[in-house]
């Protein structure tokens, strides 16, 4: 399976909206990733922006969400498919209900509630506020990845640090938020009327149509 080559953030957005789901990196389904449908010369160019720089502007549009959503690795989910994706990934639970039923750890609760209250928070600030800063609690990456996989937290932007001359430097720092902060609770919960397994089946059926060369097992492993 091959998608047309994309050469800018708008083309990536159009692809995400067409297919609904797009992993950032290569995976078990050949051709089904941004890595494979973006020319290699754009990945580390000194003269033009490429996928690394596009992530923030794409996430800011509100036309999709970005985060570690596929087997703990990064990717995009379109706004259209987000409610069903969240419904089955959360197994029908809002975070508070998950915690009350003993299905989430206190560390997860602390991180989630800090993100939720902030509306949008940089990863370095989130670590400090939740005790995961230098010399503090271990395991932040595990917690924040789990919350993204469960769709309770997403990356809404990447913010670049500036030196004393106002020039940006280094890699962009992830800014975390909740899908509800971006789209509203009513929208994110709009698929809650369906059983989570029905939402999963809807996603599977859609992806099997988009990537017919992939087996059901391959698609299930990608989205589980």
Count structural domains, the chain. 1
Q: What residues form DSSP beta bridges with 68?
A: 74
Identify the pLDDT of residue 169: 64
| 152-210 pLDDT per residue, tens | 999 999 987 776 666 676 678 999 999 999 999 999 999 999 999 999 999 999 999 99
Report the distance separating Cα 19 and Cα 208, nearest Å: 11
In a domain, 2, yes or no: no
| 25-64 pLDDT per residue, tens | 999 999 999 999 999 899 888 888 889 999 999 999 999 9
| 81-121 pLDDT per residue, tens | 999 999 999 999 999 999 999 999 999 999 999 999 998 99
In a domain, 134, yes or no: yes
In a domain, 3, yes or no: no
Q: Please, what is the angle between helix 216-223 and helix 196-210, to 10°?
A: 120
Identify the pLDDT of residue 166: 66
In a domain, 1, yes or no: no
| 77-88 pLDDT per residue, tens | 999 999 999 999
Q: What are phi and psi of 176, to 5 degrees?
A: -95, 150
Domain region containing 87 = 9-223
pTM, whole model, 2 decimals? 0.94
In a domain, 4, yes or no: no
Q: What is the average per-residue pLDDT within 3-28? A: 94
Look at strands 64-70 and 21-23 and give their pairing. unpaired
């Amino acid at each position: 399976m091959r998608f047309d080559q994309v050469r800018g953030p708008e083309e990536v957005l159009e692809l995400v909206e067409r297919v609904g789901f797009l992993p950032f990196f290569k995976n078990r389904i050949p051709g089904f990733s941004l890595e494979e449908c973006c020319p290699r010369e754009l990945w580390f160019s000194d003269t033009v922006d490429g996928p690394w720089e596009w992530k923030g502007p794409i996430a800011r549009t509100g036309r999709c969400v970005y985060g570690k959503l596929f087997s703990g690795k990064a990717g995009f989910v379109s706004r259209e498919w987000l409610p069903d994706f969240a419904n089955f990934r959360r197994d029908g639970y809002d975070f508070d209900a998950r915690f009350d039923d003993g299905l989430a750890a206190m560390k997860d609760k602390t991180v989630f509630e800090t993100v939720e209250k902030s509306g949008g928070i940089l990863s370095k600030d989130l670590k400090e506020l939740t005790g995961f800063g230098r010399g503090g609690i271990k395991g932040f990456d595990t917690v924040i990845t789990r919350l993204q996989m469960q769709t309770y937290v997403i990356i809404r932007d990447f913010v670049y640090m500036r030196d004393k001359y106002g020039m940006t430097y280094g890699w962009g720092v992830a800014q975390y938020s909740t899908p509800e902060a971006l789209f509203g609770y009513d929208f994110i919960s709009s698929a809650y009327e369906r059983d989570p397994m029905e939402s999963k089946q809807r996603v599977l059926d859609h992806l099997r149509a988009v990537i017919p060369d992939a087996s059901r097992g391959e698609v299930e492993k990608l989205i589980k």
